[in-house]
Structure 1
Amino acid sequence: MDLGISGRKAIVCASNRGLGRGCAEALAEAGCEIVINGLDQDRLRETAKAISGATGAMVIPVTGDVSDAGVQRALLAACPEPDILVNNNGGPPRKDFRELDRAAMAEGVVQNMITPIELIQAVIDGMAARGFGRIVNITSMSVRMPIEGLDLSSGARAGLTAFLAGVCRQVAGSGVTINNLLPGKMDTDRLRGGFERAVSQSGQSMDTVRAAQAAEVPAGRFGTAEEFGQTCAFLCSVHAGYITGQNILLDGGLYPAAF
């Protein structure tokens, strides 16, 4: 399917690996010019080279923490008039809520709520003026379904979701959509880190832990960054202009609900 976004310009945050990289690769395949971002400069340059080599797309790397105001300015300098913004950021580590102090809670809210709002503030009026814009926020299944130890991440991402529920309806008539992608158990470094923690706590082998967690998913497997990225690219396409304010689960059926 031709997504109709060839030549569009996209900023994809936290995209040197995992789900962010999957989104960047899919948008590059669709013909977009991409600005990617990450903390590791060497990895980011390698990622830019790999995506450009595979797709022929222009890929510009911007190193740094997307929550840093200077890095945000650098992203916007590299892409002053983005048509697409994919918000993504690392979340707080697993921790019992009793162990969270004020500084940790404030940092988590900045990472997963304030930062994406700041970037949306910076780009949304330009998108509306040009009559086209796609904003996709990578949140988490934990917005709908509690995950032990991720209370801070869940709360901040749920706050973002509620904040944007009204915003998306203000700009829908200008050709701008805002949607959220909620990953479940995706085969990423973050999930593998959870496996390692489970191995150390249980004494079971990595294969046993991995198989047990995959068995919890009705699809019988973990999701991939590639299929996640393709879903993101569709939401950014001309075909998705009537989809806005939605929370789309990619969880293999793990969240047990009819609605």
Structure 2
Amino acid sequence: MDLGLRGKSAIVCASSRGLGRGCAEALAEAGCDLVINGRDKDALEATRAYLTDTFQVKVSVVAADVSTPEGQAALLTACPEPDILVNNNGGPPRKDYSELNRSALLEGAIQNFVTPIELIQAVTPGMKNRGFGRIVNITSLSVKMPIEGLDLSSGARAGLTAFLAGVCRQLAPHGVTVNNLLPGKMDTDRLKGGFERSAQQSGQTVDAIRASQAAEIPARRFGTTEEFGQTCAFLCSRHAGYVTGQNILMDGGLYPAAF
């Protein structure tokens, strides 16, 4: 399927690995020129080289923390008029709610609530003027279903979802869509790190924990960065112009609900 994205420009935050990289790869495959971002310069350069060699698109690298004003300014200098923005950022580490102090609460809110809103504020005027824009926010299954120890991340991302529910309807008349992708258990380094922590705490092997958690998912497997990225690319495509304000679960059926 031709997604109608050849020649479009995209900023993909936190895209040197994991779900962000999956989105960058799918958009590059569709013909987008990219600005990719992360804090690991070596990983970023390896991703840039792969994308340019594989898909023959222009890829710029911004090594920065997207949560800082300086990092955001660098992204927007590299791509002042993006057609597509994929908001992605690491969340706060697992921690019981009782252990969170004010500093940690504010940092989590900045990472997963304030930062994507600031970037949306920066890019939407140009999108509105051009009559085309696609914004995809990578949030989490935890917006709908609590995950132990991720209360801060869940709360910030749920707040972002509620905030943008009104904003997306202001942008819709201008050809700008805003949608959220909610990953469940995806086969990334972050998930593998969780297996390793569980193995240390329980005395089980990593393989046993991996198999046990996969068995809890109706699909009986973890999601891949490739299928996640392709879903993101579709939401950015010309075919998804009538889809806005939606929360797309990608969890293999783990969240048990009809609606």
Aligned-pair Cα RMSD in Å: 0.4
1:194 matched residue in structure 2 = 194
- CA–CA distance in 2 between the matches of 1:90 and 1:60? 21
Which ranges in structure 1 are unaligned for 5 or more consecutive residues? none
Deviation at residue 131 of structure 1 after TM alignment: 0.2
The residue identity in structure 2 corresponding to 1:118 is: E
Give the TM-score, by structure 2 length: 0.99
Matches of residues 201-220 of structure 1 in structure 2 within 5 Å?
201-220=201-220
Structure 1 residue runs of 4 or more that deviate by more than 3 Å after TM superposition: none
SS in structure 1 of the partner of residue 47 of structure 2: helix
- Equivalent in the alignment of 2:8: 8
SS at match of 2:180: strand
Alignment correspondent of 1:77: 77
Which residue of structure 1 lines up, in the alignment, with residue 168 of structure 2? 168
Deviation at 1:170, TM superposition (A): 0.2
Deviation digits for residues 107-128 of structure 1, max 9, x if unmatched? 0000000000000000011101
- Cα offsets for 1:136-176 (capped at 9, x unmatched): 00000000000000000000000000000000000101000
TM-score in terms of structure 1 length: 0.99
Q: Secondary structure at the match of 1:211?
A: helix
Query: What is the alpha-carbon distance in structure 1 between the residues aligned to residue 19 and residue 239 of structure 2?
Result: 22
Question: How big is each residue's C-alpha offset from its partner over 1:27-80, in whole Å with a ceiling of 9 and x where there is no partner?
Answer: 000000000000011111111011111111111010010001111111111111
Partner of residue 248, structure 2: 248
Give the partner amino acid of 2:66: V
Match of 1:181 in 2: 181
Partner residue, 1:106: 106
CA distance in 2, matches of 1:71, 1:211: 39
Query: Letter of the aligned partner of 1:122 in structure 2?
Result: A
Task: Tell me the secondary structure at the aligned position of residue 248 of structure 2.
Answer: strand
Give deviations 1:173-200, integer Å, cap 9, x for gaps.
Answer: 1000000000000001111111011101
Whole-Å separation in 2 of the counterparts to 1:42 and 1:170: 40
* Structure 2 Cα separation of the partners of residues 21 and 187 of structure 1: 13
In 2, the alpha carbon distance for the partners of 1:41 and 1:71 equals 14
Query: Counterpart of 2:121 in structure 1: which amino acid?
Result: Q
Percent of aligned pairs with the same residue? 74
In structure 2, the partner of 1:136 is: 136
In structure 2, the residue corresponding to 1:249 is in which secondary structure? strand
Match of 1:93 in 2: 93
**Distance in 2 of aligned mates of 1:134 and 1:177:** 5
Q: Hey, what's the Cα distance between the residues in 2 that align with 1:232 and 1:70? A: 26
